[in-house]
Amino acid sequence: MQCALCRKGETSEAGHIIPHFAFRHLVKTSPTRFIRGYDNPNVRLQDGKTRHFLCPNCEDILGRWEKIFAQNVFHPLHIHHVKRDRDYPTMSQFPYGEWLLKFCVSVSWRSLYDLMLDHPEEPLPHGDNENAKQALTVWREYLIGERESVDAFPQHLTIVGSPVETSGIANTSDLKLFFERGITHSTWHNPFESYVFTKMCRVIVAGTIKDQVRPWKGTLVGPDSGHFSLQEQVLSGVFTSWIRSDIAGMPIARDRLSERQSEVIDAAIKKFLSKNQGDADSEKNDRK
């Protein structure tokens, strides 16, 4: 089969849709050394899903960006987190190069490609199918070096912490599992915005399919190099509603939540977001 990225090479082995390092982290930090439903309660989890879509050369290229991201961001964030036994991010910023945008685009491209291939009969709402096709084309051309920017289809990056204790919610541990260990990819929308979200434990990449209102602040991944700050980020409401929906879809959560589940989940997310921000601020002050 022809490689979906370079369209020259032939596919050989099945490649991961969501980077393998996230699943390795789950296995390594699971008491049972196996990924089970309760380790990752996200209903959309597909255990390290793979498909035949890349040639060995393209696998290597994507693997290199994954490796740099894992070494510089994912592992320090998650290992640091485990060692210090803290509930919230301990990284306020990290240095990055061109690899960061390449990595984020490769994640969004793979996720959207996979979703569109698996659900061709389900058009995106709000007439966004054409945008999604364009996004895939632009991201693919950027990845193989045929263009230097991703134009109208930028990438946003954020790191989530843990939800704080919320009165009236019986399953804080489920929420904690979702935020810290959930791995999923999905598209989400409102009439003005549309994204493909990929959650790799605490790291979330949002690939823009359409954005007419530009609600994000401090999350945009640039094509150059510098220091990526995780402080003072403002996230789109579409992001919040996607997270909320994923949590509501957790079978464990659904069994345990009362009928007040919607309000309670909303409150938990709100608190988590503000606590997350507060933690980043206090860390910033610590550094002064």
Minimum distance between the CB of residue 109 and Zn ion, rounded to whole angstroms? 12
> Is residue 5 a contact residue for Zn ion (CB under 5 A)?
yes
User: How many whole angstroms separate alpha carbon 149 and alpha carbon 157?
Assistant: 17
> Is residue 63 a contact residue for Zn ion (CB under 5 A)?
no
Q: How many CB atoms lie within 10 A of CB 148?
A: 10
> Is residue 6 a contact residue for Zn ion (CB under 5 A)?
yes
Minimum distance between the CB of residue 54 and Zn ion, rounded to whole angstroms? 6
H/E stretch holding 184 reads strand 183-189
- Residue from 22, 26, 58, 105 in contact with Zn ion (CB under 5 A): 58
How many degrees, rounded to 5, is the angle at CA 59 between CA 123 and CA 147?
A: 65
Minimum distance between the CB of residue 62 and Zn ion, rounded to whole angstroms? 9
CB nearer Zn ion, residue 139 or residue 197: 139
CB nearer Zn ion, residue 61 or residue 257: 61
User: How many whole angstroms separate alpha carbon 152 and alpha carbon 284?
Assistant: 32
CB nearer Zn ion, residue 5 or residue 268: 5
DSSP code of 280? H
What stretches of 119-236 show up as alpha helix (H) in DSSP? 129-143, 172-181
Minimum distance between the CB of residue 201 and Zn ion, rounded to whole angstroms? 28
Residue in this structure with the two tokens 């289809």, named with its chain if needed = 153
Give the β-pairing of 50-51 and 15-16: antiparallel
CB nearer Zn ion, residue 58 or residue 116: 58
Residue in this structure with the two tokens 């659904």, named with its chain if needed = 254
CB nearer Zn ion, residue 3 or residue 230: 3
Which residue type is seen at 115? Answer: L
Minimum distance between the CB of residue 15 and Zn ion, rounded to whole angstroms? 10
Residue in this structure with the two tokens 């061709």, named with its chain if needed = 120
CB nearer Zn ion, residue 6 or residue 220: 6
User: How many whole angstroms separate alpha carbon 42 and alpha carbon 47?
Assistant: 11
Minimum distance between the CB of residue 57 and Zn ion, rounded to whole angstroms? 5
What stretches of 119-196 show up as alpha helix (H) in DSSP? 129-143, 172-181
- Residue from 17, 35, 55, 205 in contact with Zn ion (CB under 5 A): 55
Residues 125-184 that bind Zn ion (CB under 5 A): none
Minimum distance between the CB of residue 143 and Zn ion, rounded to whole angstroms? 10
> Is residue 3 a contact residue for Zn ion (CB under 5 A)?
yes
CB nearer Zn ion, residue 56 or residue 218: 56
Contact set with Zn ion (CB under 5 A):
3, 5-6, 9, 55, 58
